[in-house]
C-alpha cells in the first residue's frame, strides 16, 4: 500500500476516534479491504448503555475498545475481514490482539504505543513483518499540513 494511502487511512482512524465519548483516551480504528473502508470503530460503551465511559476518573470495564468495536461491526455485515488491513490510532491491547488474529486481519498499522505492550508483542510474535508503527512519520506528515479536510 502506498504511503499516502496509509497516512490517509490513519488520519481517518483519528477522525473516528474523536467521535468517542471517552474523556481519558479517544481511540479510532478502521478496517480496509480492496482499497475500501469496510468497518469503523471507536472506544465507547456497548449499544444501549449510557455514553459515560469513566467513573471516579477510571475507564469503566465495560467500555469496548475501538478495534473490538470495528471487528464486531464487521461481523454483523456481509463483508469478510479475511486478508484486510486494520488502521488504529493506538497499538491494540492483548484482548484486541487476539481478536485481530482470530478475525483474519492481515496487516496492522498503528500510530501510538499503548501503555501495555502485551498486545503488540503477541502480534509481533506471530506476524513479524505485518505490524507497522507510524507515529513519528505521521507527526512530520501533520506538520506539513497535508491532512484530510476534516475539522475536529
Strand partners, 120: none
Question: How would residue 136 be classed by pLDDT, with cut points 50, 70 and 90?
Answer: low
Task: Please give the torsion angle defined by the CA atoms of residues 119, 124, 129 and 135, in that order, rounded to the nearest 10 degrees.
Answer: 50
Q: Do 39 and 104 touch, CB atoms closer than 8 A?
A: no
Pick the catalytic residue from 54, 62, 67, 82: 67
Per-residue model confidence (pLDDT) at position 140: 41
Give the pairing of strands 85-90 and 107-112: parallel
Higher-confidence residue of 9 and 126: namely 9
- Annotation says 67 is catalytic: yes
- Per the CB < 8 A criterion, the answer to whether 28 and 42 are in contact is yes
Beta bridge partners of 137: none
CA distance 149 to 152: 10
pLDDT tens for each residue of 19-53: 999 999 999 999 999 999 999 999 999 999 999 99
* Banded model confidence at residue 144, pLDDT cuts 50, 70, 90: very low
Residue with the bigger pLDDT between 101 and 129: it is 101
**Cα separation of 115 and 130, whole Å?**
21
SS3 13: helix
Structure confidence by residue, pLDDT tens digits, 85-105: 999 999 999 999 999 999 999
Q: What domains appear along the chain, each with residue ranges and CATH number?
A: 3-143 (3.40.140.10)
CA dihedral sign of residues 21, 41, 98, 136: negative
Question: What predicted TM-score, i.e. pTM, was given to this entire model?
Answer: 0.86
DSSP 8-state class, residue 45: P
H helices of 21-146, in order, are: 66-75, 94-103, 118-126, 135-143
Q: CA-to-CA distance for 11 and 88, rounded, in angstroms?
A: 9
What mean pLDDT value characterizes the chain?
88
Amino acid at each position: 500500500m502506498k504511503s499516502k494511502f496509509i497516512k490517509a487511512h490513519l488520519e481517518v482512524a483519528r477522525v473516528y476516534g474523536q467521535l468517542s465519548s471517552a474523556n481519558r483516551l479517544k481511540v479510532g480504528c478502521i478496517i480496509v479491504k480492496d482499497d475500501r473502508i469496510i468497518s469503523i470503530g471507536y472506544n465507547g460503551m456497548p449499544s444501549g448503555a449510557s455514553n459515560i465511559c469513566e467513573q471516579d476518573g477510571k475507564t469503566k470495564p465495560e467500555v469496548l475498545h475501538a478495534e473490538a468495536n470495528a471487528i464486531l461491526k464487521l461481523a454483523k455485515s456481509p463483508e469478510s475481514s479475511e486478508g484486510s488491513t486494520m488502521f488504529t490510532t493506538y497499538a491494540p491491547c492483548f484482548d484486541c490482539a487476539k481478536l485481530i488474529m482470530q478475525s483474519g486481519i492481515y496487516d496492522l498499522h498503528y500510530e501510538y504505543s499503548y501503555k501495555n505492550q502485551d498486545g503488540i508483542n503477541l502480534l509481533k510474535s506471530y506476524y513479524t513483518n505485518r505490524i507497522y508503527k507510524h507515529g513519528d512519520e505521521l507527526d512530520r506528515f501533520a506538520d506539513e499540513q497535508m491532512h484530510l479536510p476534516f475539522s475536529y
